[in-house]
Amino acid sequence: MTQRFKVIVTDFLNDDFILEKEILDDIADIIPAVALKEEDLVGIVEDADALIVYHSISIREKTLTRLKNCRIISRGGLGCDNIDWEFARGMGIDVTSIPDYGTEEVADSAIGMLLTLTRGVHYQNSFLRRKGGEWSYTNAVPLVRLRGQILGIVGLGRIGTATAIRAKSLGMKVVYFDPYKPLGYDKSLGVTRAETLDELLAQSLAVSLHCPLTEETHHLMNAATIESMPDRSYLINAARGGVVDVRAIPPALESGKLAGVAIDVLEKEPPNEDDPLVLDWRNPDHPAHDRLILNPHAAFYCEEGLDEIRRKGAENCRRALLGQPVHNVVN
């Protein structure tokens, strides 16, 4: 009798798994764990041959050491900071990602948030809805023309590049900081390379973050780096929550250092109800109420993009289970 494998979808999804079954049903059973935290996986994953992991939980050493048969941990997304991939490598488990999913969606979201902030759309809508003043364009004064302004991009990977192309179509000048990008890429794309983060920040009307979360980038944007930005500038984070120390956001909005901020993803999701950032965002008497956009880690999402994640994650599992080379191994 042909062996049937066991594939556990650890978190985020709990439906009929039609897409995954189209790819895996002839060789594997697909079982949802519906875990909200790592401890929920106890007694479920030990005999799994493959895990598909999204973003709601972490997979650390305490879980990895219990895996008896696992060949692959397929991350349904790009960032793998919620998986101890180095420890997994030592156990002979491939950890894979899907680096090309959501490129268009996240870039569109970054530009959408940029326009919403810099054109005063969010501010006017929030300000007038709470009856903060007169029905007049003057509420959002001053605004500046985007054409000719500088968008600073931190991290010029697939999404950062797609964002740069969109910004250029608006007539903006693009400056990027990415010390791991080879020299010359700036010329091929028609953008300008900054040698340091400070160099980028000092000249940018708006900064859009598209770097991975690493020890090097953790809290890359903090009180000190934000202070080096021009007065009345804008900050957009559609990367990972830990790239920004959000404790620095409310004071920067209060002082006018930042005219607007858009945060798609937080370090802890959902945030606690008593999170100071959330309290200021909900407080009509605080500048964050009208000048801060918070989203629930949604920039990646569209129906086509989610289908793409699911198919590619399942396809990588199939390759691993059949002993074939897998794509996008991060460890």
* Catalytic residue IDs: 240, 269, 297
Contact 248, 221 (CB under 8 A): yes
State the Cα–Cα distance between residues 182 and 174, nearest whole angstrom. 17
Tell whether omega for the bond before 270 is within 30 degrees of 0, i.e. cis.
yes
Instruction: Give the whole-angstrom CA distance, residue 189 versus residue 187.
Output: 5
Q: Is-contact 315 307, C-beta < 8 A? A: no
Q: In sequence order, which residues have a C-beta less than 8 Å from that of residue 237 and are 6 or more positions away?
A: 209, 221, 243, 244, 262, 263, 264, 265
Please, is 256 exposed, middle or buried when counting C-beta atoms within 10 Å of its C-beta (0-12, 13-18, 19+)?
exposed
Q: Closest Cα to residue 172, out of 192, 186, 198?
A: 192
For every residue of 101-143, DSSP letters joined together read: TTHHHHHHHHHHHHHHHHTTHHHHHHHHHTT-S-SSGGGG---
Sequence-distant (6+) residues with CB within 8 A of 177 are 152, 153, 154, 155, 193, 194, 196, 197, 199, 200
Place of tokens 């964002």: 163
Between CA 95 and CA 105 the distance in angstroms is 24
